[in-house]
């Protein structure tokens, strides 16, 4: 199978997902845009069924598989949101879900995953080590692995966000997308550029995990030491193998955002848009607040908010 999604794959995913997920609204953020000098729209995937966009890719993949293939169960590793999306998909299809989560996963994401009926295995290791364990467990039990960002059907599911943006704001000029493993931005960028090539696609990456930024400079996938960032959902040390060439083809700019601006983005979304967004989801607003994204007064900018699953005690600390 191809290791990238086509626009046809994304349109098929949109039809497949339509009965099962929310077409999240596009919200004008008048208060936030006053200090930015552009027209700002928010794509709030934090309002999605599981509180994050990941349900799109997880459901698109699992709905594409023959039921007999996943009869024993499905398995993945995740920092939390893919886990919840996959757990939801498994419950909907009546199959077992096993999620290998890092020990640093926020408690709310662990609790939400378990509440959806999934089995959670906490594992102390980096992304590569966790995936190694996933494939070991999968082979032992004949589970089907569902990769959070390497799978083209998962990317196609995430790409439906791009189709929705263009349906709701056909004259959008710029779309800012968070960058973790790269599956989200690969899918959205494919949809945007294939439907409307003039759209400027910007990837926002934490300054503490600048794997795609440095890979673009080095003209090859570059692994970096893993550092802690408040945006735990974007904390990966090396670009995805399959997303990397897609991003190089379709993403116009990659912007680095310091943690202080990510937190400022969270505060601004809560104060001025009344939206609770986790740090990874707030990075696009942080990029705008930092001045790293150059905009014009009449420019229509859309920031994708990826999720809102964050512990309330942590939120209290951020918002105080």
* pLDDT, one tens digit for every residue, the chain (320 residues): 689 999 999 999 999 999 999 999 999 999 999 989 899 999 999 999 989 999 999 999 999 999 899 999 999 988 778 888 899 999 999 999 999 988 888 888 888 889 999 999 898 877 788 889 999 999 999 999 999 899 999 999 999 999 999 999 999 999 999 999 999 999 999 999 999 999 999 999 999 999 999 999 999 999 998 888 999 889 888 999 999 999 999 999 999 999 999 999 999 999 999 999 999 999 999 999 999 999 999 999 999 999 877 666 666 666 66
CA distance 239 to 292: 22
Residue 15: alpha-carbon gap to chain centroid: 20
Neighbours of 35 (CB within 10 A): 11
Q: What is the DSSP letter of 158?
A: H
The region, left, alpha or beta by phi > 0 then psi within -120 to 50, assigned to residue 293 is beta
Distances (CA, A) of 273 to 85, 248, 265: 25, 32, 11
Beta-carbon contacts of residue 128 (< 8 Å; ≥ 6 apart):
238
CA distance 204 to 116: 30
Beta-carbon contacts of residue 260 (< 8 Å; ≥ 6 apart):
none
What stretches of 169-282 adopt beta strand conformation (E)? 174-178, 200-206, 253-257
Q: State the burial class of residue 160 (Cβ atoms within 10 Å of its Cβ: 0-12, 13-18, 19+).
A: buried
Going 277 to 279 to 285 to 289, the CA torsion angle's sign is: positive
Predicted local distance difference test score (pLDDT) of residue 57: 95
Phi and psi, residue 265, nearest 5°: -65, -40
Predicted local distance difference test score (pLDDT) of residue 240: 92
Reduce the DSSP state of residue 52 to 3 states and report it: strand
Residue 153: alpha-carbon gap to chain centroid: 14
């Amino acid at each position: 199978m191809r290791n990238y999604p086509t626009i046809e794959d994304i349109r098929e995913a949109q039809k497949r997902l339509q009965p099962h997920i929310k077409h999240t609204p596009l919200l004008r953020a008048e208060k936030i845009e006053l200090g930015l000098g552009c027209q700002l729209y928010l794509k709030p995937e934090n309002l999605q069924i599981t509180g994050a966009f990941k349900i799109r890719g997880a459901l698109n993949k699992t709905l594409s598989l023959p039921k007999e293939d996943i009869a024993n169960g499905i398995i993945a590793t995740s920092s939390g949101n893919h886990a919840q999306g996959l757990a939801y998909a498994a419950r909907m299809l009546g199959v077992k879900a096993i999620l290998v989560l890092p020990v640093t996963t926020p408690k709310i994401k662990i609790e939400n995953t378990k509440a959806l009926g999934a089995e959670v295995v906490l594992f102390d290791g980096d992304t590569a080590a966790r995936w190694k364990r996933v494939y070991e467990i999968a082979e032992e039990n004949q589970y089907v692995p569902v990769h959070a960002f390497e799978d083209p059907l998962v990317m196609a599911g995430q790409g439906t966000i791009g189709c929705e943006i263009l349906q709701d704001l056909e004259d959008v000029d710029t779309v800012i997308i968070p960058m973790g493993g790269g599956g989200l931005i690969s899918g959205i960028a494919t949809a945007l550029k294939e439907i409307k090539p003039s759209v400027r696609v910007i990837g926002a990456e934490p300054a503490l995990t600048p794997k795609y930024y440095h890979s673009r400079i080095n003209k090859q996938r570059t692994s970096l030491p893993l550092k802690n960032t408040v945006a735990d959902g974007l904390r990966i040390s090396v670009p995805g193998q399959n997303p990397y060439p897609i991003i190089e083809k379709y993403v116009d700019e990659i912007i680095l955002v310091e943690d202080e601006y990510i937190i400022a983005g969270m505060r601004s979304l809560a104060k001025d848009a009344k939206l609770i967004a986790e740090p990874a989801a707030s990075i696009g607003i942080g990029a705008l607040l930092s001045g790293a994204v150059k905009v014009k007064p009449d420019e229509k900018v859309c920031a994708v908010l990826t999720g809102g699953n964050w512990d309330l005690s942590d939120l209290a600390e951020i918002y105080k």
